[in-house]
Amino acid sequence: SSGINAESQSVLSKTLSSDQLVTLTMNLRNTYDLSNVLSVIRNQYIELVSNDSDIRNMILPKQDPGHFIRGVITQLHVFSEYDFESIFHIINEHLIKLRRKLPDGIKIAVVYNDDGNHGISGFIIDAHDNDTDKITMCHCNHSFSAEWPVVIVLCRMSKEIYEKNLISLYLSISRARVKCSVFIYPEYKGCRLSDIRYMKGLLNALEPL
């Protein structure tokens, strides 16, 4: 626990039993489960896109042994169709329940990849405008080098920019250090995740995790 910041250590001590907690001699980035999820996303990206390996490794770093610890399991929520009311309700209820469970001083980061105005994230921002002491909203493009013990990822998937989708998903999930909940949904009404050519392979690879 020596390599984890105070917020992450507090969440770990409240979430894990005493026999699951160990003192670490080095700073480890993600939980084992998060690293597994990130590795799957990275492998899907490599299969779909051929580009310079140095750039790829910089954007989507490989999760090597020693980069992770065993911890809380990542929650993945997948919406096959775009239904705004249903998606918003489920995300909002999840956020409210999670906020109530966390101790004082621990912030939840909601990391999103839509435009923040008319997207799901914009309505989440409006609904929790008075909760800035407990909830931080951050677009994934502005989250480089940021980290939080608890992260909720809102990932809107587009049929056209599959490369950018996978980078956004990887970056957003990698901001979490202890607990992460991921919500994946299609870009607009009438669009289905099954219409996006890489989604079946990605979800099949993530399912065993």
pLDDT of residue 2: 35
Output the CA–CA distances (angstroms, integers) from residue 102 to 1, 11, 39, 127, 165, in the order listed: 19, 8, 28, 19, 30
pLDDT of residue 78: 92
Token pair for 33: 């489960």
Judge whether residue 149 has pLDDT over 80.
yes
Distance of alpha carbon 133 from alpha carbon 136, whole angstroms: 8
Q: What is the mean pLDDT of residues 159-166?
A: 78
pLDDT tens, residue by residue, 115-131: 776 789 999 988 888 88
pLDDT of residue 151: 93
User: Is the model's pTM score more than 0.85?
Assistant: no
pLDDT tens, residue by residue, 172-201: 998 888 889 999 999 888 888 888 877 888
Output the CA–CA distances (angstroms, integers) from residue 170 to 17, 101, 127, 156, 191, in the order listed: 29, 26, 26, 13, 22
pLDDT tens, residue by residue, 58-116: 566 666 554 444 455 678 899 999 999 999 999 999 999 988 888 888 889 999 998 77
pLDDT of residue 4: 44
Residue entry with tokens 């309505």:
123
pLDDT tens, residue by residue, 1-46: 334 445 545 555 555 555 555 544 434 455 666 777 888 888 887 7
pLDDT of residue 25: 40
Q: Which residue has the higher pLDDT, 60 or 157?
A: 157
Output the CA–CA distances (angstroms, integers) from residue 150 to 128, 176, 182, in the order listed: 17, 6, 11
